[in-house]
Amino acid sequence: MFVTQKKLLMDFQNQRPRLILPILVVSVVVLLIIYTTQDMSTLFYRNCETKERSTAYNVGILLNKFFVEDVLLSSSRPPPGRTIFFHETTCYHQVSQFNVMNLTARQACAIESAGLNNPNFQVFVLFSCPTYRPLSGGQKLLIDAIEIYKNVRFRHLNIRNYASDTPVEDWIKKGDLLNSSFPMQHTADLLRLISLYRFGGIYLDMDVVVLRSLENEPLNYVGAHDNITLGNAVIGLEPTGKGHEIAELFLRDYEKNYNGKEYVQNGPALVTRVVKKLCGDNIVKLIEEGRTSCQGLKVFNSTAFYPFGWPQWMHFTEPKYLKETMTITKDSYLIHLWNKASYRGLIRVGSNTALGIYAKRHCPRVYAAAGDYF
């Protein structure tokens, strides 16, 4: 190929402009090859039965390792109702020059703990901007620690494509989301609803540690923060039937009541609003009566996902709370760390804190790769 290109170039220099077209064609083909390598490498995997490794094969593998595939174009799609979703939207917040992954150790822990405790589910981590894997350094250690799990997949999504064929397809094109005072948060608020509308399954925030399997808990649930409000850090919905209907209600409410200036308006407040409209205002009653009182939707009490409210996030990070926290969380499915408040409260790796103990148990590889602080 290179010989041909060189010849073309030489011919071109010899003032033969009719060769512009072939040069263009070659360039486009090369660009297309680079652009579609995500699919190329799987193609090569399948066709390469002789085990002969061509250069293209190796380049395909290399690029595939570096680029993160688009979730809708990938050959392995989220299995409906058997996927745990995480959404990474920080590219709307800080300037990350090369769009290289930049997960914190705690985010990586959330992903590992989900993969480890739910081996029969797929865990899809969806980045809202074109993203590349790190080539070296601490970030690579974290990513490698997660990618050991065969059920964890990193994917990229294009928001407009992801919203197409959903109730918010037209709304997203208007651009209101880009106008948000909290673009990172409000994008994540919306994308989780689109994921559940498209595929069903479970959405989790990235500031959690999963402590138990969620695989055997029938879908269609949310969790209460307290007796008054529900959270949106954990939502489980069936891909069809009532679950899909509720996902649609969530999306329609998002568009109808979107407010770019209010932090919680499109998140926890949205979930609370929609569930109350569907099943009545009495959250305590919904919790007590289980699936019978809300059209099959279960509202977990705060112990399940939010054993401590955000003002008490130190219960996870300070040794003096260890005993109390372990008792209160012993039946929790997961702990939610309230990152917006807790991110500054790093713990020393190995410290005698609830977070340290749970991280060692439920995200052992990430915890080991985190360095001195977690």
Q: Which residues bind ligand NAG (CB under 6 A)?
A: 96, 100, 102, 175-176, 179, 226-227, 284, 301-303, 331
Closest separation in Å from C-beta 4 to ligand NAG: 39
- Complex with ligand NAG: residue 54 or 227, whichever CB lies closer: 227
Closest separation in Å from C-beta 308 to ligand NAG: 11
- Complex with ligand NAG: residue 213 or 303, whichever CB lies closer: 303
Where does residue 149 rank: exposed (0-12), middle (13-18), buried (19+ CB within 10 A)?
A: middle
- Complex with ligand NAG: residue 17 or 175, whichever CB lies closer: 175
Termini Cα distance of the chain: 50
- Complex with ligand NAG: residue 208 or 249, whichever CB lies closer: 208
Closest separation in Å from C-beta 350 to ligand NAG: 22
Please tell me the distance from the alpha carbon of residue 265 to that of residue 84, in angstroms, as a whole number. Answer: 24
Closest separation in Å from C-beta 178 to ligand NAG: 7
In contact, 157 and 62? CB cutoff 8 Å: no
Closest separation in Å from C-beta 108 to ligand NAG: 12
- Complex with ligand NAG: residue 37 or 302, whichever CB lies closer: 302
Closest separation in Å from C-beta 332 to ligand NAG: 9
- Complex with ligand NAG: residue 13 or 216, whichever CB lies closer: 216
